[in-house]
Amino acid sequence: MWSPGVIQIAIVPFASLLIGSRSLRVSEPRLRHVTIEARDYAFIAPATLTPGLTAFRFVNHGTVPHEVQLFRFAPGVSAQTARAYLAAGDAPDSAADPSGSVLIAYAGVTAREEILVALERGERYALICGFRDAPGKPKHATLGMVGLLEVR
């Protein structure tokens, strides 16, 4: 009941105000799962992916431990330049985005963690294994364990 001098507040769900009796449906971005496989001194992974929320997992089918360093190249680094850096087994800090992630797996193991990335069109990502089999041995990257992923 309304009385003079008394303020009454009606609480109505906001969604009801906007859509009446229709139910409000919030869509979440679809999550895509991509597996990066390690063999001894090579990655098996897609060369291109479409934009969107992506979870990367890492499976080591090799006989030695491997890692995958996943980082985004800085805007302006062309695919040709990125491939040249990867062929050399490393990329200078100036060519890379300051963030990145690493997954590690011993021989025959799947990493328990995943890397979650919101991929955007035009981005390029490096895959690099910086492990060595023993002190004084070459980095796996210099043996060819690198990859380039482009978002198109």
Residue 8 falls within a domain, yes or no? no
Q: What is the extent of the structural domain holding 42?
A: 28-151
In a domain, residue 11? The reply is: no
The total number of structural domains that make up the chain: 1
CA distances (Å), origin 44, targets 60, 63, 76, 132: 10, 15, 26, 19
* pTM confidence score: 0.79
Is residue 89 in a domain?
yes
Low-confidence ranges of the chain (pLDDT < 50): 1-3, 6-21
The domain that holds 78 is classified in CATH as 2.60.40.420
pLDDT in tens, 73-95: 999 999 999 999 999 988 899 99
Q: Is 22 part of any domain? A: no
Helix ranges (DSSP H) in the chain: 14-19, 79-88
